[in-house]
Amino acid sequence: MAHTKTKLIIIAAPSGAGKTSVTRHLLKALPDHLAFSISCATRKPRNYEKDKVDYYFISVEEFTQKIEQKEFVEWEMVYEGKYYGTLKSEVERIWQLHKSPLLDVDVQGGINIQQLYPHNSLSLFIEPPSIDELERRLKARGTETPESLQARLNKAAYELSFKPQFDRVIMNDQLDRACAEAEAVVREFLGI
Ligand code: 5GP
């Protein structure tokens, strides 16, 4: 699949907008064309998460060392004291498989990556129907403390203002529809 070799797909959204579900759908629907780009993160794994599958879970010291050694395409402190970043070696690993990396990143990271790869990236912004709905979904997910829930909601309101900078905005009012739309847009971008 030479045509997908150096393309990449960015999915960004406020936390809880359904980005993970859309990402999973795309990976399942297009397994020969896409591979999940595993980021480094310094937060603790949730109980259902696996090291080197969901993230490369590393210490702040290791993360700082990788920053110094310029190993990241981009990195960010997404939440207070919590670092996330995409390794150059990860993107290369996936291109060597002749697939396109699918990057699940926060909104600022999405904009930064898009600027680094202006000609070969597709950036999707998954939009939640409302902040109230976002709050309901995050509570239902049950992974947040009251403080981290509030931090995510505050960040979400700010992040929504960046959606015009993305190539495509996909409203996630209904998950099946949003997944189908995302798949159609990705297929078009990859020419498949
Ligand atoms: P979570 O802690 O819920 O797994 O992720 C928090 C946020 O960090 C999500 O919006 C996720 O997409 C984002 N994120 C994950 N990996 C990266 C990365 O490599 N770079 C950036 N900028 N954000 C990331």
Domains and CATH numbers, the chain: 2-190 (3.40.50.300)
Cα dist from 130 to 138, 153, 160, whole Å = 12, 11, 10
- Torsion, Cα of 14, 165, 34, 52 (10° steps): -40
Count of CB atoms situated within 10 Å of the CB of 3: 12
The verdict on the CB of residue 84 being under 6 Å from ligand 1 is yes
Does residue 170 contact residue 127 with C-beta atoms inside 8 Å? Answer: yes
Distance 80 CA to ligand 1 centre (A): 13
Amino acid 166: pLDDT: 97
* Residue nearest to ligand 1 atom 14, measured at CA: 105
pLDDT at 170 over 50: yes
Does residue 21 contact residue 175 with C-beta atoms inside 8 Å? Answer: yes
Q: Give the chain's mean pLDDT.
A: 93
Q: How far apart are the first and last CA of the chain?
A: 10
List pLDDT tens digits, range 54-112: 999 999 999 999 999 999 999 999 878 899 999 999 999 999 999 999 999 999 999 99
pTM equals 0.91
CA dist., res. 52 & res. 3, Å (int): 27
Distance 124 CA to ligand 1 centre (A): 15
List pLDDT tens digits, range 111-131: 999 999 999 999 999 998 888
More confident residue, 1 or 186: 186
Look at the alpha carbons of 101, 17, 108, 85 in this order and tell me if their dihedral is positive or negative: negative
Distance 114 CA to ligand 1 centre (A): 15
CA dist., res. 25 & res. 36, Å (int): 11
List pLDDT tens digits, range 10-32: 999 987 788 999 999 999 999 99
